[in-house]
Structure 1
């Protein structure tokens, strides 16, 4: 597919609420492929559509266990609390400590338009929360308790 340029901090699209996807089309399937290609090329663990300049509620996540694609994802429950280090492909070279839930349950659609429900723990839960935040215009720096040099 295609590798896109990742939008950097300061671009207003990163602060906008992304638009829901009303219908799965070939363009949405292509967007999923392009997000994955871009994420892997940048050696990231996740990527949201706004990070490549597209205001749609679409994310991909791969923490080394295979790719997860979610359209219109929503966190329906969260529990626990853990602080860990995060970075972001849209804010290269900056890392910080962020509190996140240790477990989340997320619902969304797969590329066939079927509803899926994922319960994630640890790093997978953190990555999902980070990418879903992007869909609401929230960056990890908004939640940082301490920046790391």
Structure 2
């Protein structure tokens, strides 16, 4: 499946950027699309309807909200999704070395805005596959390798 990875400069700041990894809605399982939060991901000069990684990897129980909170699923889902996002972003933008993506990152240099489509392993309902080994999860587990197939958006 494809993921859109972007680095966007925060307006009015000097070298402060926001990093995101979003899944185009076309890559999300049809049954999950109505429940996804829609975010417009930047691609070149346009935007593509996309969603957060958490909405894609979430187990079926996540959509049954009565079960999600008592089981602590919300916190675990957030951790797994943010770790997956960090691994994807780091593969594309090596300057992002944080274990989890911060809201914004101030850099000593000005790398400019960029966005790419990158192919990753299937993430639809992948929570159970990744949650147990989240501490040892690596980019290779997501089908990513240095020099992976980036397609300029």
TM band (smaller chain): under 0.3
Normalised TM-score (structure 2): 0.22
Per residue, is there more strand in 1 or in 2?
1
- Which structure has more relative contact order (CA 8 Å, sep 6+)? It is 2
Per residue, is there more helix in 1 or in 2?
2
Normalised TM-score (structure 1): 0.23
Larger Cα-atom Rg: 2
